[in-house]
Amino acid sequence: MILMGFLASLGAGLMTAVGALAVLFGREISRRTNDMMLGFAAGVMISASFFSLILPGIERGEVYYGSTLAAALAAGLGIALGALVVSQINRWVPHEHFVTGPEGADPGALSKLWLFILAITIHNFPEGMAVGIGFGGGDVTNGMSLATGIGLQNAPEGLAVAVALRGQGYGRIRSVWIATLTGLVEPVGGLIGVAGVTVSVYVLPVGLSFAAGAMLYIISHEIIPETHRYGHQNRATTGLIAGLILMMLLDVTLG
């Protein structure tokens, strides 16, 4: 399962490169299209958080802990811990968003490019961890559903990263390469996630919710505010609903 979790999260991460390749061809995408794609990514992550992580975590918790209340409390604890960990990483790791500017600790001599890469890395790590944890309980179907959904939302995300880099004056090939690197943190998260929950079955319910909490924090703290920044709320919301429905269908049909 550890190998499967790692390979699945690697495949999902590489979809970032697939999306970024689009900047090598055709004209640049508009800001409103970019916001709609980011909204789609947020919708996939919200749906995956609930249908593929929180609800399965509660179901496993009921079996392992013998109580619905204990399972729900474990899920709540996992969500809170996931959000807390990412918020602290966001607070202490220096990084920079193109629109909102620098965040976290003093970056020192780090260049703006590396600060941006760190920002995307903070974003992508929980996604890879979620895929790994999905495989950690021995549920290949759930793991594949997560890997598929995360991979689908990574494609427009990779394109958005590459477009942002192009807007800052980076060449097409370099933009694709950097976007690809940001996705390669996902197999690292996947390996840590699948290894962590295979230690004990009792860790799995909390681990699933932990990954969900981490993703929900990123959605609320970064993705949704970013998609609304330029007045494209309607398109962003349409993308979010489409992504949520698609991931729900994937989870139901693959599950």
Domain count, the chain: 1
Q: Report yes or no on 103 lying in a domain.
A: yes
pTM: 0.86
Share of the chain above pLDDT 70, in %: 89
How does pLDDT run across 47-94, given as a tens digit for each residue? 999 999 999 999 999 999 999 999 999 999 999 999 999 999 888 887
- pLDDT for 170-204, tens place per residue? 888 988 998 898 898 899 999 988 888 877 778 88
Higher pLDDT: 81 or 160? It is: 81
Backbone φ and ψ of 101, nearest 5°: 90, -165
In a domain, 109, yes or no: yes
Per-residue pLDDT tens over the stretch 116-136: 777 777 778 888 988 988 887
25 in any annotated domain: no
Assign 3-state DSSP to the chain and report helix, strand, coil percentages, each to 5. 80, 0, 15
Give the tokens for residue 146: 């997560």
| pLDDT band with cut points at 50, 70 and 90 for residue 153 | confident
User: Positive or negative, the Cα torsion across 92, 98, 101, 106?
Assistant: positive
The conformational region for residue 200 under phi > 0 = left, psi -120 to 50 = alpha, else beta, is beta
Above 60 in pLDDT, residue 98? no
Q: Is residue 210 part of a domain?
A: yes
- What is the distance between the alpha carbons of residues 190 and 183, in angstroms, rounded to a whole number? 12
Kindly calculate the radius of gyration of the chain based on its CA atoms and give it in whole angstroms. 17
**Measured distance CA(16)–CA(12) in Å, rounded:** 8
pLDDT in tens, 13-51: 999 999 899 888 866 778 888 889 889 989 999 999 999
> In this structure, is residue 23 part of a structural domain?
no
CA distance 161 to 180: 9
On whether residue 26 sits in a domain, the answer given is no
Q: Is residue 29 part of a domain?
A: no
Q: What is the pLDDT of residue 99?
A: 55
pLDDT category, 233, cuts 50, 70, 90? very high
The verdict on residue 94 lying in a domain is yes
Measured CA to CA, the distance from residue 128 to residue 42 in angstroms comes to 15
Domain with 11, as residue range(s), is 2-18+34-254
Query: For a pLDDT cut of 90, what percent of the chain falls above it?
Result: 38
